Amino acid sequence: MKIDKKHLLNYSILIPYMILSVLGLIVVYSTTSPTSIQAGGNGFGMVLNQGIFWIASLCAIALLYRMRLDFLKKGSFITLIIFIEIILLLLSRFVSGTINGAHGWLRIGAFSVQPAEYLKIILVWFLAYRFSRKQEEIGIYDYQALTLNRWIPRAFNDWRVIVALLIGIVAIMPDLGNATILMLTVVIMIAVSGIGYRWFSTMLGSIVGVSTIILASIWLIGVERVAKIPVFGYVAKRFSAFFNPFKDLSGSGHQLANSYYAMSNGGWFGLGLGNSIEKRGYLPEAHTDFVFSIVIEEFGFFGASLILALLFFLILRIILVGIRAKDPFNSMMALGIGGMMLMQTFINIGGISGLIPSTGVTFPFLSQGGNSLLVLSVAIAFVLNIDANERRDALYEQLRAEKEQEEN
């Protein structure tokens, strides 16, 4: 008996994805049309671009859902993807121009490609492949199985060298937001690989400790001195805003201060869709990094909380797929994707609220950015495919058991 995968589609993941994507198109139009029209441009320009990427995303989901998962487990294919990604990252860093003080975009015709966005799903895929092949060794040797009992890697094909190279290129763009997401995603992947919980606790504690030391050092040394470092001069301005956004309202603190104003304007129920004040030239990047501030201003705390709850529901359903999966690769892929989306949400919300320095990270689904939407959609497609395969395998196993029982 053949079970068609179309009957195993997980609508508890697909429906929230569709709602958030459509809501994202509405928010993109709301946040970009006033300034576009003011500049004499097309008010639908940005949303049309986002819509094209969304249509491409739906096609990618339909295609990837029907494919066999075996193609994800081919080492030669993963190696090729990693090689191409390294080339694209180097081109975006050393060949392309800067946008908002950072490299990272490759212009292809009317569209731009941001390789760092695609690295998120590639890194989850790569580590899930590597770690899933070491499950027996991990069960015996714990964390040492992942490092071959060597704290310092000796070969280029060591996963630690590859990961450090990829994240390092992103960091020197400088794109510390995506670099932070990638680093935290790696920690999550290590945590779900099967190692003892004490290793995860140690790594998490080390990250918190190092981050605290860095922030304290910048505060003691002074942002002005740190800003003289060639690569991280632009990033230093974000730290200045983090320490006191109201000290320089016309400069480094302009975005964060106006983010506060937007959230304050929203109150409990918001000003209404399209009625934001801050998006009309007061809050720069209102359609990307700080889009959720505008969401709060227009939908209010109550409406924004519902949107956030829907996103968290989607993430929890993805994590649940990973918890229930029996295949180690499938489990780590789903858990890594859920963790990556959770980290991106946390870093964005932390940045716009001043809990952590602003890093330029987009809000999942709602921010304008075709590359981000496409990557998230591909991640959703992988999870839907994994869930369908796991459920189909479970049904086949149940049918075999029932058949054996009837024969006996």
Residue boundaries of the structural domains of the chain: 5-407
**Cβ contacts of 256 within 8 Å, gap of 6 or more:** 241, 242, 245, 352, 354, 358
pLDDT per residue as tens digits for the range 263-285: 888 888 888 888 888 888 777 77
The pTM of this model reads 0.89
Nearest CA-CA partner of 276 in 304, 244, 241, 254: 304
Region 215-243: what's the mean pLDDT?
60
Region 18-30: what's the mean pLDDT?
93
Region 112-120: what's the mean pLDDT?
88
Region 52-67: what's the mean pLDDT?
92
> For the CA atoms of the chain, what is the radius of gyration?
22
What's the pLDDT at 209? 82
d(CA 259, CA 275): 15
What's the pLDDT at 312? 96
What's the pLDDT at 363? 92
What's the pLDDT at 395? 83
pLDDT per residue as tens digits for the range 148-170: 766 677 666 788 889 989 999 98
- Residue that wins the pLDDT comparison between 212 and 272: 272
pLDDT per residue as tens digits for the range 70-80: 888 888 899 99
d(CA 405, CA 140): 36
Model confidence at 230: pLDDT above 70 = no
Contact 187, 200 (CB under 8 A): yes
- Residue that wins the pLDDT comparison between 260 and 132: 132
pLDDT per residue as tens digits for the range 303-320: 999 999 999 999 999 999
Question: How is residue 242 written in tokens?
Answer: 């983090």
pLDDT per residue as tens digits for the range 372-407: 999 999 999 999 999 999 988 888 888 887 777 777
The residue behind tokens 């941001």 is 114
pLDDT per residue as tens digits for the range 88-114: 998 888 877 666 666 777 877 667 788
Q: How many CA atoms lie within 13 A of 252 on its CB side?
A: 21
**Predicted confidence band of residue 68 (pLDDT cuts 50, 70, 90):** confident
